[in-house]
Amino acid sequence: MIATTYSIGTLQYIPFFYVIWSDDLLSASEVSVIQKTITDDPSLDADEKTQLLGWLNRTNPPQDEEIKHWKQTISNSKIKLIESDTYPLTSFSQRLGNFHCGSCDFNDHLKHIEINLGIQPNHYNHLFDVEVIHEKTSNRYNANVLDSLLKGSNTNAVDEFRDFLDRPIFSWDIHRDKESFRAKVLEQVQVLGEKGYGAMGYEEAYGGTANMPAYAAIFEHLMFIDGSLAVKFGVQFGLFGGSIQKLGTQKHHNQYLGDAGKAKLLGCFAMTETGHGSNVRGIKTTATYDKDSDSLIIHTPGKNDNKEYIGNALHSTMASVFAQLIVDGKNEGVHAILVPLRDKNHNPLEGITIEDNGYKLGLNGVDNGKIWFNQVKVPRENLLNKYGEIRDDGTYFSSIKNPNKRFFTMLGTLVGGRICVAKGALAGAKMALTIAVKHALNRRQFNDSIKIQEDLIMDYPTHQLRLTPAVASAYVYHVTLEELMKRYSDDALGDKRKIETQVAGLKSVITWFANTTIQECREACGGKGYLTENRIADLKGDVDIFTTFEGDNNVLLQLAAKGILSDFKAEFNSAGFTSVLKLLRTQLTDRLSTINPIYSNKVDSEHLYNPKFHKHAFTYRTRRLTYTLAMRIRNYIKKGIPSYQAFLKVQTHLLALGKAYSVELAYDIFSEFCETVADEEYRALIQKLGTLYALHELRSDATWFLEQGYFAGVKSKAIRQRVERLSTELRPHIEVLVDGFGIPKHALTAPIAK
């Protein structure tokens, strides 16, 4: 028999029974806890007790009709669940009692059930109308708008590509065996080649659109699919194809570039040797011109002189080989030569030995290998001869007379690759952040001991501090790399040396940022982050090597610093005494503003949030580091210390300058970008990200600013507090911000990100 109305005593138990039976929660433990509560509850009379205890029989559960009636009793009341109540279910019961019977006390016995069973609102909130109090995410901003801002002029290419990637061949899976993994990645690269994505950066004649920024934008998206795919794609189209495009001439383009862009001709970029990685100029492979046969003889002289870590080595039929070009007994320096590696049956050609590099920390879908050349003969025209050629009379000719300059001009063509490496690493960081933030918006852990519902881990200040500044930095670096790619692709800009310096520094700073961020995300997701299915593990293994390849970060930062120094020296030397004086005056001004205690003690928010302050601090740092570096080197050289030794002595100073310069550059580019955002509300949000980036960076290097007297102690502390406060202020928008990265839903396969 089913009751249709309930007494007040019974009524207050209805929500509990409804929760328990709806979720099949009634186990032995529940039964005994509830039995005891009912038995001990003095507000219940004997009939009520009998009725309630009768509903606890697991072998003879209440009928569906009964449960439906409970539900109606609850919905008719229109009472809402308030998750933030200390005892949400007990309070709910009390209000239900009030509604149906006019007056009902808060029942401590019900509270006893709630505590002992530890049932939390997230267990049952789907059963009731919920009064939303604490929002997970604010509706103020729309992720699509942010995404559009980031896509910028690449919107069409990116949108089309995101859709394209939503097909089974690009679906993510765990691959442990390198052979099958490589086979899959090869197939993916071939599909992309066929569809014209590989050639995107080439001229139209070779299947492309000559749109490097769009190429870089789609490249970034491959990281969301798989790191190995991104890298193999970059090797085939960016490095191998790119070397033909940038170092070769018309004849090479005509013969090879179309096929390379379609992945019909698979190739590799054979620069690094076992003995020489960072020091490319010291590579040992020789390409000796033999006049009699009008050919080049490619040779690996010693045991550590083989090519190594060459991506695509096992699938390629051709390689761009970097070697010391020897013509008529004279070493003309490093040049690239196209060398066929395999015959039609994919067997290595005579004189060529290729070995697998084996398993790696990550990127096991990329077939890295070692290559040896034993007196391998190729025709003279295989020399990629844009910057240096062997003429018909057998003599060497280059329009760039200075071998040093020639070398750096050739290597300068790699700059585009470095931008892509930074973009790839950044994409890894975006993906990890998206996963970690979404997890933190679902995961609850710990609570106030008097409250039933546990807290979202995204609501912990430490968690906000771990993730939010990184989200802000990802925005800043995205915009920075987009701008650098534009500048790099702009042929109107003649001298590319400046951009080389910029890219060298930013590649280092951004790949390190990406690795640190991915690690933080792994830890922020706890044990879940360690499971391969949740993707962060692979991102960590894959992105790790980005700090090393296409230029080791420590080496690149020194390169950047030397570039800055050359500019500085030019400034110092060009206009003679006047300019030196002017320079010193600038230094002096910096110094003055430093020791001005009003400035270094200024802690009001208006000042700390003012872009002028950030800009001044960054500029001051770069200039001061440059100046003191130049002075230190000059003093060493004055004492007769050779410049090589002098540079060794200031190595850590060089690294500091390289980083400072890169951060200043990123902030400047981002600030300019902010001005272009038309919508005021979105501009404010974007600017807040820039502010958080700036303050977080200043905070990270506060030791230096304090040492210089640029910050007083109070200011440094105030900046730390502002970083924490901004992280908390951005809390309601954190989900929108990561959604703004635009990672396609089909690529967000991590179960914890759903």
Q: Does 86 bind a copy of itself (CB under 8 A)?
A: no
H or E segment to which residue 326 belongs? strand 318-327
12 binds a copy of itself (CB under 8 A): no
Beta bridge partners of 335: 323
If we measure between CA atoms, which residue out of 59, 41, 55 comes closest to residue 6? 55
Write the CB contacts of 274 (distance below 8 Å, at least 6 apart in sequence): 304, 305, 306, 308, 370
Q: Which two tokens stand for residue 228?
A: 């190995």
- Nearer to a copy of itself among residue 346 and residue 391 (C-beta): 391
Q: Which of 361, 575, 588, 637 binds a copy of itself (CB under 8 A)?
A: 361
Residues 462-481 that bind a copy of itself (CB under 8 A): 462, 465
Tokens 């109070």 belong to: 714
Structure tokens at 162: 């995101």
Kindly state the smallest distance separating residue 78's Cβ from a copy of itself, in Å.
28
Parallel, antiparallel or unpaired: strands 130-131 and 81-82: parallel
Question: Which tokens in the block code for residue 92?
Answer: 């709910």
500 in active site: no
Amino acid of residue 345: N
- Binder among 708, 725, 746, 748 for a copy of itself (CB under 8 A): 708
Q: Which of residues 287-326 bind a copy of itself (CB under 8 A)?
A: 287-288, 290, 297, 299, 301-302, 308-309, 324, 326
Q: Which of residues 37-56 bind a copy of itself (CB under 8 A)?
A: 37
Rounded to 5 degrees, what are φ and ψ at 473? -60, -35
Return the structure tokens found at 409.
């001009």
Binding mask 662-701 for a copy of itself (x = CB under 8 A): ----------------------------------------
Strand partners, 267: 318
Is 359 near a copy of itself (CB under 8 A)? yes
Least distance to a copy of itself, CB of residue 471, Å:
18
Q: Length of the chain in residues, anyone?
A: 754
Q: Which of 108, 131, 355, 448 binds a copy of itself (CB under 8 A)?
A: 448
Q: Pick from 168, 329, 576, 640 the residue near a copy of itself by CB under 8 A.
A: 329
| Residue located via tokens 């099958």 | 180
Q: Could you report how far apart the first and last alpha carbons of the chain are, in Å?
A: 44
Residue 152: which region, alpha, beta or left (left: phi > 0; alpha: psi -120 to 50)? left
Of 66, 147, 552, 668, which lies in the binding site for a copy of itself, with binding defined by CB under 8 A? 552
- CA proximity to 621, closest of 670, 572, 660, 587: 660
Contact call for residue 507 and a copy of itself (CB under 8 A) = no
Toward a copy of itself, which CB reaches closer, 151 or 406? 406
Beta bridge partners of 353: 372
Binding residue (CB under 8 A) for a copy of itself from 36, 496, 497, 683: 36
User: Which helix (H) or strand (E) segment is 645 a member of?
Assistant: helix 643-649
Under rule CB under 8 A, residue 328 binds a copy of itself: yes
- In order of 441, 550, 667, 672, the CA distances from 322 in angstroms are 50, 14, 37, 40
Residue 377 vs 391, nearer CB to a copy of itself: 377
Q: Helix 553-573 crosses helix 577-595 at what angle (to 10 degrees)?
A: 120
533 binds a copy of itself (CB under 8 A): yes
From the CB of residue 573, how many other CB atoms can be counted at a distance below 10 Å? 10
Supply φ then ψ for residue 333, to 5 degrees. 95, -175
* Residue number with CB closer to a copy of itself (33 or 583): 33
Q: How far is residue 738 CA from its own chain's centroid?
A: 12
**Which candidate, 616, 663, 378, 401, places its Cα nearest to that of 512?**
663
Residue 675 has a CB neighbour count (10 Å cut-off) of 9
Options 281-289, 479-487, 492-500, 672-680: segment touching a copy of itself (CB under 8 A): 281-289
Q: Is 531 in the site for a copy of itself (CB under 8 A)?
A: yes
Residues 178-237 that bind a copy of itself (CB under 8 A): 178
37 or 502: whose CB is closer to a copy of itself? 37
Among 182, 232, 262, 276, the residue binding a copy of itself under the rule CB under 8 A is 276
Q: Does 63 bind a copy of itself (CB under 8 A)?
A: no
Number of C-beta neighbours around residue 597 at 10 A: 10
Question: Taking CB under 8 A as the criterion, which residues in 234-273 touch a copy of itself?
Answer: 272
Name which of 449 and 574 has its Cβ closer to a copy of itself. Answer: 449
Would you say 357 or 610 has its CB closer to a copy of itself? Answer: 357
Tell which one of 101, 210, 655, 748 touches a copy of itself (CB under 8 A). 655
Determine which residue in the list 541, 611, 732, 744 makes contact with a copy of itself, applying CB under 8 A.
541
- Residue among 41, 544, 664, 739 that touches a copy of itself (CB under 8 A): 544
Minimum Å gap between C-beta 649 and a copy of itself is 7
Instruction: List the one residue out of 433, 422, 468, 460 whose CA is nearest residue 444.
Output: 460
**Binds a copy of itself (CB under 8 A): choice among 537, 603, 630, 641:** 537
Tokens 């002189």, residue located: 305
For position 171 contacting a copy of itself by CB under 8 A, the verdict is no
Q: Considering only CA atoms, which of 255, 223, 269 is closest in space to residue 538?
A: 223
Judged by CB under 8 A, which of 54, 379, 461, 597 binds a copy of itself?
Answer: 461
Query: Could you count the other beta carbons within 10 Å of the beta carbon of residue 309?
Result: 20
Q: Which is nearer to a copy of itself, 379 or 713 (CB)?
A: 713
Q: Which amino acid is at 246?
A: K
> Shortest CA distance to 366 belongs to which of 309, 318, 419?
309
Identify which range of 125-133, 254-262, 417-425, 440-448 contacts a copy of itself by CB under 8 A.
Answer: 440-448
Interface pick for a copy of itself out of 54, 126, 282, 585 (rule CB under 8 A): 282
Tokens 């304090």 found at:
706
Minimum CB separation from a copy of itself for residue 523, in Å? 6
CA distance 8 to 98: 9
**Minimum CB separation from a copy of itself for residue 675, in Å?**
32
> Which DSSP string do the residues of 575-607 spell out, in sequence order?
TTHHHHHHHHHHHHHHHHHHH-HHHHT---HHH
- CB-wise, 150 or 702, nearer to a copy of itself? 702
Q: Using CB under 8 A, pick the residue from 277, 365, 416, 658 that binds a copy of itself.
A: 277
Q: According to the binding rule CB under 8 A, does residue 515 interact with a copy of itself? A: yes
> Using CB under 8 A, which of the segments 115-123, 313-321, 582-590, 673-681 binds a copy of itself?
115-123
**What angle do the packed helices 461-489 and 713-729 form, to 10 degrees?**
90
- How far out from the chain centre does Cα 745 lie? 17
Other residues' Cβ atoms within 10 Å of the Cβ of residue 99: 16
Q: 520, 550, 664, 697: which one is catalytic?
A: 550
| Total site size for a copy of itself, rule CB under 8 A | 105
Q: In the numeric block, which tokens belong to residue 114?
A: 């709630």
Lookup: tokens for 538:
């692979």
Choose between 385 and 547: whose C-beta lies nearer to a copy of itself: 547
CB closer to a copy of itself out of 362 and 505: 362
CB of 47 to a copy of itself, least distance (A): 21
Helix residue ranges per DSSP H, 141-261: 143-151, 155-164, 178-194, 212-225, 227-233, 241-247, 250-252, 258-261
- 244 exposed, middle or buried (CB, 10 Å; 0-12, 13-18, 19+)? buried
Which stretch, 20-28, 213-221, 413-421, 619-627, contacts a copy of itself (CB under 8 A)?
20-28
Nearer to a copy of itself by C-beta: 54 or 461?
461
Q: How far is the CB of 285 from a copy of itself (least distance, A)?
A: 9
Question: Could you tell me the smallest distance in angstroms from the CB atom of residue 174 to a copy of itself?
Answer: 5
Q: Which stretch binds a copy of itself (CB under 8 A): 134-142, 347-355, 441-449, 611-619?
A: 441-449
To the nearest whole angstrom, how small is the minimum distance from the Cβ of residue 120 to a copy of itself?
9
Please identify, using beta-carbon distances, which residue of 155 and 519 lies nearer to a copy of itself: 519
Question: Any idea which residues carry the catalytic annotation?
Answer: 550
